Amino acid sequence: MPFTELHIGIDDTDSPQEGCTTYVAALLIEELKQRGARFKDYPQLIRLNPNIPWKSRGNGAVCLRIMADARDLQHMLDAAIDLVKKLEAQPGSNPGIAVLKGSVPTPLEGFSKAALHEVLTINDARKVAIKNHVELLPDSERRGIIGALAAIGQTLLNTDYTYELLAYRIQEMRGKPRRVDPKSVVEMDKLTHPFTFNNIDYETGRILITPRGPDPVLFGIRGENPEILVKALSMLKVEEPIERWVIFRTNQGTDAHLAFPPKRIKQLKPYEAVTLEGVISKQPMVIPGGHVIASISDRTGEVDIAAYEPTGSFREVVKKLTPGDLVKVYGGVRPISTGKFTINLEKLVIVKVAELYVEKNPRCPRYGKRMKSEGKGKGFSCPKCKYRDPKAEKEKIPVQRELEEGKVYLPPPRAQRHLTKPLQRYGREKTRWTGPMIEKWYYPP
């Protein structure tokens, strides 16, 4: 009997209070393995548009890509449906499963790309699913089908990608503080740098591998290859049982949501992830709460850009902008009132700094001291030797700008999106995945 390629996308099985779609995937992997499935690729954790207001946390969906004996397919799908049905009781979840047999069609890839930066509807997903022969389970009414479908379409074969090893807690520990020795995280970070990333936020000393909610994730280590993640895991001092762990291949840390042509300001739509190119048009100011707001304009309009308080030291960079600076800004479009938006900044590149001057009174040609003004248009005189020059003008002194042209400025790791490409990954991008997979990519075996 020939083997068939099967792609199972899952999303929205969780709520802010409970669960996590990657955990459902981890359970399903075990079920599928028991039923004889062969994994074609690592399970994939696909992050989608991070500005979607109805996400629980990081807008993540999962896709499992397997080869299975055609006779076993129905059993496998039943396992997936049963698992997701069990989770439906969770308040706030809206689970969706999408199943594709055979290779991924190009229009589905297009849908996935759009899901990275646009806001899509259940109806959009339904139409794409029908056209591309994707089955939606248990039915097609739930919002989760958007992410489930988008996860299938994002194959990560000819694009940049990273990995994350996610370890899960036993039931009794969920909701309690996570017991991972912070010193061991610091040590692991030192020994695996630059092949793991965002383990720690060095500005605050905050450990980033452990999330803070009641979900089943104990920790997640992000990195460039599966081997380094297994090594990093062995370096951690974990003081509570690990129920299971899985290595996911993912678009995290790749800027996938920002890799689209710049938009014009008049084209902005709420909750999109965008890149804008323009000129700073208003001096940055600090508003109550410590947020820094400036404005950018292009030929089509003007919009506010904001570095919010949680972005810490990034605000100091934004404060240094000045009208006339040519910049590229990257971020999410936040509606603040009808038709008015603010760009929530995630990244900033200075294309060209404006020349900035301070004006000072001219110096006395005899004593070298700065002279005094004689009144508007009346020139200057030296207070010491009384030398007078009615034609003298103020001296324009160029100000040394502290912003560097061409440099990428990012918020500190604790304030970065899952999709944000950390500085240490620049130059380390991958372009293709062909396998093979390591043998030990999940536990228990």
Among 7, 9, 25, 49, binds ligand ATP (CB under 6 A): 49
Residue number with CB closer to ligand ATP (218 or 296):
218
Residue number with CB closer to ligand ATP (169 or 315):
169
- 120 touching ligand ATP, by CB under 6 A: yes
Cα–Cα dist 180/262, whole Å = 42
Among 25, 83, 146, 364, binds ligand ATP (CB under 6 A): 146
Backbone angles phi, psi at 392, to 5 degrees: -60, 145
Q: Say if CB 149 and CB 125 are below 8 A apart.
A: yes
Mark the segment that binds ligand ATP (CB under 6 A) among 51-59, 175-183, 390-398, 405-413: 51-59
Count CB-CB contacts under 10 A for residue 376. Answer: 5
Cα–Cα dist 377/392, whole Å = 9
Mark the segment that binds ligand ATP (CB under 6 A) among 111-119, 152-160, 363-371, 428-436: 111-119
Count CB-CB contacts under 10 A for residue 225. Answer: 15
* Smallest distance, ligand ATP to C-beta of residue 121, A: 7
Residue number with CB closer to ligand ATP (116 or 353):
116
* Smallest distance, ligand ATP to C-beta of residue 294, A: 27
The first and second tokens of residue 116, run together, are: 């990275």
* Smallest distance, ligand ATP to C-beta of residue 145, A: 7
Burial grade of 294 (CB within 10 A; 0-12, 13-18, 19 or more): buried
Cα–Cα dist 223/39, whole Å = 21
The residue written with tokens 């605050």 in the block is 204
* Smallest distance, ligand ATP to C-beta of residue 209, A: 16
Taking the mean position of all CA atoms in its chain, how far away is CA 414?
Answer: 11
CB within 8 Å of 386: residues ≥ 6 apart? none
Residue number with CB closer to ligand ATP (315 or 417):
417
- 94 touching ligand ATP, by CB under 6 A: yes
The first and second tokens of residue 184, run together, are: 């061991």
Mark the segment that binds ligand ATP (CB under 6 A) among 116-124, 261-269, 377-385, 425-433: 116-124
Cα–Cα dist 50/38, whole Å = 32
- 14 touching ligand ATP, by CB under 6 A: yes
The first and second tokens of residue 347, run together, are: 């990244």
Among 10, 18, 21, 256, binds ligand ATP (CB under 6 A): 21
- 55 touching ligand ATP, by CB under 6 A: yes
Cα torsion 177, 182, 188, 194 to 10°: value is 90
- 57 touching ligand ATP, by CB under 6 A: yes
* Smallest distance, ligand ATP to C-beta of residue 117, A: 8
Among 7, 8, 12, 314, binds ligand ATP (CB under 6 A): 12
Q: In one letter, which amino acid is 441?
A: W
Task: Count interface residues toward ligand ATP (CB under 6 A).
Answer: 24
Cα–Cα dist 417/129, whole Å = 29
- 20 touching ligand ATP, by CB under 6 A: yes
* Smallest distance, ligand ATP to C-beta of residue 227, A: 26
Task: Measure the N-to-C terminal CA separation of the chain; round to a whole number of Å.
Answer: 27
The β-bridge partners of 45 are 62, 250
Mark the segment that binds ligand ATP (CB under 6 A) among 28-36, 118-126, 275-283, 335-343: 118-126
Nearest to 165 by CA among 135, 197, 141: 197
The first and second tokens of residue 269, run together, are: 């739509």
Looking from the CA of 6 toward its CB, the CA atoms found within 13 Å total 26
- 60 touching ligand ATP, by CB under 6 A: yes
Cα–Cα dist 275/331, whole Å = 7
* Smallest distance, ligand ATP to C-beta of residue 122, A: 8
Cα–Cα dist 120/10, whole Å = 17
- 115 touching ligand ATP, by CB under 6 A: yes
- 143 touching ligand ATP, by CB under 6 A: yes
- 52 touching ligand ATP, by CB under 6 A: yes
Residue number with CB closer to ligand ATP (81 or 293):
81
Among 43, 144, 153, 253, binds ligand ATP (CB under 6 A): 144
Residue number with CB closer to ligand ATP (226 or 332):
332
Coil, helix or strand at residue 393 = coil
Among 30, 31, 33, 58, binds ligand ATP (CB under 6 A): 58
Residues in the site for ligand ATP, rule: CB under 6 A?
Answer: 11-12, 14, 20-21, 48-49, 52, 54-60, 94, 115, 118-120, 143-144, 146-147
